[in-house]
Amino acid sequence: MMAHQATLIPGDGIGPEVAEATVRVMEAVGVEIEWERVQAGIHALAEQGQLIPDDVFASLAATHVGLKGPTATPIAGGHQSINVALRKKLGLYVNFRPVRMLPGLKTRFHDVPINLLIFRENTEDLYSGLEHEVVPGVVESLKIITRNASTRIARAAFEYARREGRAKVTAIHKANIMKLSDGLFLKCCREMAAQYAEIQYTELIVDNACMQLVMRPETFDVLVLPNLYGDIISDLAAGLVGGLGIVPGANLGDETAIFEAVHGTAPDIAGKGLANPTALMQSGVLMLAHLGEREAAARLQKAIIQVYMEARHLTGDVGGKSSTAEFTDAVIRAL
């Protein structure tokens, strides 16, 4: 069988640690992947003079599949977010984040059957980076919502729900206040819902959605959101199932897919071998499925669950004492 080609972007902070751990388990699962390693982020800026060097785009244009560690974005001022740039340039308009309780993991909600899927619009909204100073002391940030982008994220959510037999799609908004922008987003979701009569469609205002997610997380199924609410709700949902160390993600376009965790570079624990690689490993599970390696994906997922059930080799963020490498070794043994 021919090896798959994939691009590996280790990233900054804990990125290289969790990326290496993920490559190890993906090798152990027995699927042949030829990784093309390229740098983006602070490392790339220091060594190649560019945050996203041209070879990153060249590699992804050839492989169409990437696994990416988190990259650092300075707060206020400085350069544009690498993720935002990658997502826009490669047309990765869907940010998909499955939030599921890992059997065995003890969290505040461990006896609640949480299994929700987030479809976050990935290219516009307040992430357009269109900010300017009107006059000294007054700034303006533009929230861009288009019919095109809203329709394609809604379609992605409903298509997935239909394919995977999910019962309900909920659109999250603040159209009571942002009548035009969130109003257009909702309109596009409603139009799409009309084409999927077998799937229940509901709407929730974002603040109410936050409360409902904490009080009744098990009632949520597929969520579709504009970019900013999707960002915030993703972290909230991650908190329900054990934190940022757990939740995987995928940035999907029509031609390219990049798999990455929800979490950032975790500067507080970077370089110490303490990071939990579960989130990127589970992103690897999504990547294997995307490559058509469904059996291997299921095996890797099962091995991760087994390590959580045994609870002897977990990292500090989920109540264990093990290092990144010890957890990774345990997953490989479980395989």
- Is 122 or 170 the residue whose CB approaches ligand NAI more closely? 122
For the bound state, the minimum distance from the C-beta of residue 316 to ligand NAI, rounded and expressed in Å, comes to 7
For 163, counting Cβ atoms within 10 Å of its Cβ (0-12 exposed, 13-18 middle, 19+ buried), the class is: exposed
Angle at which helix 147-163 crosses helix 181-194, to 10 degrees, equals 40
Residues 50-89 vs ligand NAI: string with x where CB under 6 A? Answer: --------------------xxxx---------x------
Residue 263 near ligand NAI by CB under 6 A: yes
Structure tokens at 57: 């785009």
Residue 260 near ligand NAI by CB under 6 A: yes
- Is 39 or 265 the residue whose CB approaches ligand NAI more closely? 265
- Contacting ligand NAI (CB under 6 A), which of 245, 250, 283, 313? 245
Of the candidate spans 29-37, 93-101, 193-201, 268-276, the one that interacts with ligand NAI by CB under 6 A turns out to be 268-276
Residue 275 near ligand NAI by CB under 6 A: yes
Nearest to ligand NAI by Cβ — which residue?
A: 264
DSSP string, 66-117: EEE------SSSSSPPHHHHHHHHTT--EEEEEEEPPTT---TTTTS--EEE
- Is 14 or 117 the residue whose CB approaches ligand NAI more closely? 14
Binding residues for ligand NAI, how many (CB under 6 A)?
21
Residue among 172, 166, 81, 67 nearest 128 (CA): 81
- Is 17 or 124 the residue whose CB approaches ligand NAI more closely? 17
Strand order of the β-sheet with 168-173 is 33-37, 4-9, 65-68, 257-260, 250-252, 94-100, 115-121, 222-225, 168-173, 200-205
- Contacting ligand NAI (CB under 6 A), which of 39, 123, 170, 276? 276
Residue 317 near ligand NAI by CB under 6 A: yes
Query: What is the Cα–Cα distance from 164 to 302, expressed in whole angstroms?
Result: 19
Backbone angles phi, psi at 292, to 5 degrees: 90, 5
Residue among 258, 298, 217, 218 nearest 95 (CA): 258
Residues between 3 and 32 that touch ligand NAI (CB under 6 A): 14, 18
Residue 239 near ligand NAI by CB under 6 A: no
Residue 268 near ligand NAI by CB under 6 A: yes
- For residue 7, the one-letter residue type is T
Residues contributing to the site for ligand NAI (CB under 6 A) = 14, 18, 70-73, 83, 244-245, 260, 263-269, 275-276, 279, 317
